[in-house]
Structure 1
Amino acid sequence: MNINSRSKITGVGAYVPQRKLTNHDLESMVDTTDEWITRRTGVKERRLAGKEEFASDLAIKAVENLIAKYDIRVDDVDMVIVTTFTADHLTPSVSAIVQGHFDMKQAGTMDLNAACTGFVYGLCVADSLITAGHSNKVLVVASEVLSKIVDYSDRNTCILFGDAAAAMLLERAGETSGTGSFLASYFTSDGTLAPNITCSNLSETVNGQEVGKTRLFQQEGKFLYEYVVKNIPEGVYNLLGRSNLTLGDIQWFVPHSANLRMIKALCERLNFPLQSTLISNELYGNTSSASIPLAIWLALEESSIKTGDKMILYGFGAGLTHGGVVIEW
């Protein structure tokens, strides 16, 4: 996709669980301090889903927030796309549960798992469905409950992650509504590096004994930091080239909110101002695919984003995957 699309973002909603886990709480759980976490990650607190609260529950509440904020209906949605790698079940899909809850009788459903890059993939798929004529109205929801898979005895990972959901509604743009929201997209991946971020259904067996951490999230933090700082700027420039824009044309950069140290390094490499970068990790941690739409929702709540603003949404994470979209608000 490298031409102006004719789909438009018409609503954004979000939900975060009530329970807070602060850095001071973590001091009593693992060998860490508030000062160390803040300096290394920028995270002060994160939200955790309840014991009986799952990805579908967060997704439904994010859509309810979208409906209430924009006073819109979703019963005529054609497709529901949920991005998650922390689904309630292997099947049924989270998207099917959301579709059933809102009684969207004509809607197809699909879950999409590209980890932290998932939401921008979901937006691109939704835009493609609309511009190809298959759909008129697509709901894209990112919902992650990383607290279900994080090892809270591993101080290198448990300090980073939180739970959240965010939703965007895309509709076919009318004849008088300009060129739509989407200007360009770019995605790439390197599966040879997949072992650097894992959450497996399998555990390792040694001498007949099961070992390892089944369904627990693990990552090589130092390697990933170096990979992101080295490779993501090139991806951003590739995306800009496809949209015939320069960074000077961009009002907002919205990277995956992995951690503040990484985002600062990216902005320095790109020579892009940190104050024009939207992030969500300070109060909510790394929420995987939900981090980008959550950052946008927070900025909209503060009336920071204006009509006509051009934005780069860029995700990166497990796979290894990275990529993004350029949109005009």
Structure 2
Amino acid sequence: MTVYAPALPGVGILGTGSYLPEHIVTNDTAGQRAGVSAQWIERKTGIVQRRYAARHEAASDLAAEAAASALDDAGVRAEDLAWIVVATSTPDHPQPATAALVQHRLGAHGAAAFDVNAVCAGFVAALHTAARLLAGDGGGGRRCALVVGAEVYSRIIDPADRRTAPLFGDGAGAVVIGPVGEGRGLIGTAMRTDGHLHELIGVHAGGSRQPATAKTVARGEHHFAMQGRAVREFVERELPLAVAGTLERFSVAPGQVDHFVPHQANGEMLRSVAGRLGLTSARIHLPVDRHGNTGAASVPLALDHARRQPGPPDGALRDGQLVLLAGFGGGMTLGTTLLRWGR
């Protein structure tokens, strides 16, 4: 069952930011490792390259870089943040929360910080959570929150697995949210989880059910695994239903949506399903070719890419336009957020 949650009025996105590691991994390199051609990867996924974190970089490092960019874009100081919410499925370590490390690095000592793990739907969940916390002065006088999606998938993929290795990369995206003008900001969020499909995507060892041992490492059970065909069927079936349900619940006609920013799972798959979404007037943002699938980071990365394209004042985004975000992935969880752009 889908859960619909309207956002309390007056909270919207004040600034966006992103960070991609310097190291570029081309399709030639990824394909050689996985035993496929560069042309095969691009044809199947729409991806041309992905970024891998440097050895000294972890999820918190990428998150902090994206966060600093978003704070600068919003004109908000780190010390003025009330909340920091980091969406990640590749944390620095099991504990403490990656958000605590981001708080420390930014010097945001007055902010409460915690992580959210809804895999590739994590940013949508984190964004709505932070907005609800801020509403009604939930920040204790400080009126802004930082929401980050950050992943380092290069540490958990098997480079020889043609089903996953060509798809995934590392990166982080962030937004600062806070008070916006009347008629602007978040409108509502919808989420559903089909837990009976949880085995379609996962990292099966390293947790409390199957702790790390020499045997689990030898068997490759710490690598990310995905049943690609079943995942694609899930997205093709459920994403159009989720989009239609969200728009209906919040009284928006499909043709009114100006921008659609989906999880950058697979460019070819998203293009194939786009015609079934009914978003006849929307611009669909797909910078997946530049960085691959970055999990919880991909929605804010794509949003920042749209925001920073040439054009006044916010790139492809214009004041008053309707923007629909969609995340979907492991769990299986699917989340959408509708907002009216305006800073």
Question: Which bin holds the TM-score, normalised by the shorter protein?
Answer: over 0.9
Q: Which residue of 1 aligns with 2:312?
A: none
**TM-score, length-normalised on structure 2?**
0.90
Please, which of 97, 101, 119 is the counterpart of residue 101 of structure 2?
97
Residue number in structure 2 paired with 1:305: 317
Equivalent residue for 1:326?
338
Distance in 1 (alpha carbons) for counterparts of 2:102 and 2:215:
40
CA displacement, residues 281-308 of structure 1 (integer Å, 9 cap, x when unaligned): 1010000011111111111111111111
Partner of 1:163: 170
Structure 2 counterpart of 1:266: 273
Contact 1:142 1:166 survives alignment (8 Å): yes
Question: Is the alpha carbon distance of 1:123 and 1:204 closer, same or farther for their aligned partners in structure 2, counting shifts above 3 Å?
Answer: closer
Corresponding residue pairs, total:
324
Give me the whole-angstrom Cα distance separating, in 2, the residues matched to 1:146 and 1:84.
Answer: 10
The residue identity in structure 2 corresponding to 1:239 is: T
* Structure 1 counterpart SS, 2:33: coil
Aligned to 2:29: 25
TM-score normalized with structure 1 length: 0.94
TM-superposed CA distance for 1:72, in Å, is 3.0
Contact 1:186 1:323 in 2 (8 A): yes
Q: Check whether the contact 2:31–2:166 (CA below 8 A) recurs between aligned residues.
A: no
**C-alpha displacement at 1:272, in angstroms?**
3.1
Root-mean-square deviation over aligned CA pairs: 1.9
Change (3 A) 1:73 1:101: same
Could you tell me how far apart the structure 1 residues matched to 2:155 and 2:241 are? 34
Residue 112 of structure 1 is aligned with which of 116, 125, 130?
Answer: 116
Q: Work out whether residues 312 and 326 of structure 1, in 8 Å CA contact, stay in contact via their aligned partners in 2.
A: yes
| Matched-pair identity in % | 31
Please give the alpha-carbon distance, in whole angstroms, between the structure 2 residues aligned to 1:238 and 1:11: 28
2:74 paired with 1:67: no
Return closer, same or farther for 1:272/1:144 CA change in 2, 3 Å cut-off.
Answer: same
Q: For 1:147-194, what per-residue CA distance to the aligned partner results, in whole angstroms no more than 9, with x for missing partners?
A: 010110101100000100011001134xxx213411121100111100
Hey, what does 2:221 align to over in structure 1? 214
Matched position secondary structure for 1:164: strand
**What displacement does 1:209 show?**
6.0
Query: Does the Cα contact within 8 Å between 1:151 and 1:216 map onto a contact in 2?
Result: yes
Tell me the alpha carbon deviations over residues 18-52 of structure 1, each in whole angstroms, 9 at most, x when there is no partner.
00000011233221111111111000000000111
Q: Is the 8 A contact 1:184 1:327 kept in 2?
A: yes
Counterparts in 2 of 1:229 and 1:274: CA distance versus 1, 3 Å? farther
Q: Can you give the 5+ residue segments of structure 2 that lack an aligned partner in the other structure? A: 310-314
8 A contact 2:255–2:280 mirrored in 1: no
Range that drifts further, 26-35 or 145-154: 26-35
Cα distance, 1:275 vs structure 2 = 7.2
How far has the Cα of 1:2 moved from its partner? Answer: 2.8
2:146 equivalent in structure 1: 139
The aligned counterpart of 1:83 is 87
Which residue identity does 1:295 align to in structure 2?
A
Q: Kindly state the Cα deviation for residue 97 of structure 1 after the two structures are TM-superposed.
A: 0.6
Q: Which residue of 1 aligns with 2:329?
A: 317
- Paired letter, 2:285: L
Amino acid at match of 1:140: V
CA distance, structure 2, for counterparts of residue 182 and residue 24 of structure 1: 41
